[in-house]
Amino acid sequence: MRALLFARKAQLDLVYGPEQRERLGRLVELEVFAGDYDSAADVADALAETELLFSTWGMKKLDEPLLRAAPRLKAVFYAAGSVRRLVSDAFWQRGIPLCSAWAANAVPVSEMTLGLILLGLKRFFEHARVFRAPGGYHRFPVAGGYKSTVGLIGMGMIGRRVRELLRSFDVRVVAYDPYLSDEGARVLGVEKRSLEALFAESDVVSLHAPNLPETQGMLKAEHFRLMKEGATFINTARGAIVDEPGMIEVLRARPDITALLDVTHPEPPVEGSPLYALPNVILTPHIAGSMDRECWRMADYMIDECERFLKGEPLLYRVTPERLKTMA
C-alpha cells in the first residue's frame, strides 16, 4: 500500500529514526514529506495517492480540506499522544481508523513517576534541600518503601502502568477513578477511595487523570490540606487539573509537604509565580513524556499497528470518539 510519512522535518527526524524508516519502507511503498507546510494544498500531490498516513507532533488537522486531498486514505497512524486537536467531525464521519502512540508515551511517564514515588517516600528532595543549610545534616521521619501507601488519581494507561511497576515494592496502592469498577480495582490490586480519603491516607499522591472539562481544577486546596506529614504530590499529567492558587496556599502553610511538578498551568508558570520560589516545590520542564531516543518507541508502536492493519488483525491503539472522551 502507498504510505506518506508526513511531518515537519525536525519532528520527523526526532520520532522516525533510521531503523524505524527502514522498517516502514519494507512494509509499504513509502513517500516522505519532511518540510514546512501551511495547508493540505502544499502536499496535495503526495496526499492524492496516499492510503496510509503516518505523522507525529505538529501534524495538521484531519479536516475536510485534508480529507478531500487524500481520497484514498484508509488509515492514520499518529506517532505521538493526544489526538484531540487533530480530529474533526468530517474525519469521524469517514470512519477512517485512527491510531495513536499514547500507550508508547505512557512508558517513560510511568518510569519517571516510579522514580519520583520512591524518592518521595524517602523525602529525598526535602533532605537534599535542608542538607545544604548550616547544620543541615538532619533526617526527617519517612514513610519509606515498606508498608507505605501510594495514591494514584486516574487509572488509565499511565496509572495502570505505574501500578504494575509498584508490584515490585511492598506498598499499598489506593486509587481514585470514577470509571474504575469494583472488579477492575480487584484485578489491578488497588483499593478504591474518594479523592479526600486518598489524599488523607497516602504518603505519595500521583496524578494521572486526563485533562477534560470535568477534571479541570479538580484538585483543590482542601485536598492538599488533608495530606499527611511529609507527604509528596506528583503531577506528570496536566497542570490544569490542579487549582494551582489553592495548592500554592497550602504549600506555603505546609512546608513539610513537597510538590513535584513536571507540568503546570500555564506552562511554564508565569513570571513571578510562587512556584519558582517555594522551597517545597520542584519544577521540571515537562520531561516525563517521550524525549530523544524514547520517541522512536512511538514510531515503532505505530509501525507495529500498521502491520496488524495490513494483516486484518485487531488494532490495539485505535482511537474512537467514545474512547477519546476519557483520554488526555
Known catalytic residues are: 238, 267, 286
What's the DSSP call for residue 41?
Answer: G
> What is the full DSSP assignment across 234-270?
EE-S-GGGB-HHHHHHHHHH-TTSEEEES--SSSSPP
Q: Which has the closest alpha carbon to 59: 107, 101, 94?
A: 101
Residue 154's φ and ψ, nearest 5 degrees, are: 100, 115
CA distance 176 to 152: 6
> Sheet containing 281-283: which strands, arranged edge to edge?
191-192, 170-176, 146-153, 204-207, 232-235, 258-261, 281-283
H or E element at residue 282: strand 281-283
Report how far apart the first and last C-alpha atoms of the chain are (Å, whole number): 31
**In Å, how far are 232, 237, 254, 272, 313 from 269, measured between CA atoms?**
20, 15, 21, 8, 45
Angle between the N-to-C axes of helices 102-121 and 157-166, in degrees from 0 to 180, rounded to the nearest 10: 40
Task: Specify the residue for cell string 506518506.
Answer: 4
CA distance 64 to 145: 53
Residue 29's φ and ψ, nearest 5 degrees, are: -85, 105
CA distance 29 to 166: 43
H or E element at residue 232: strand 232-235
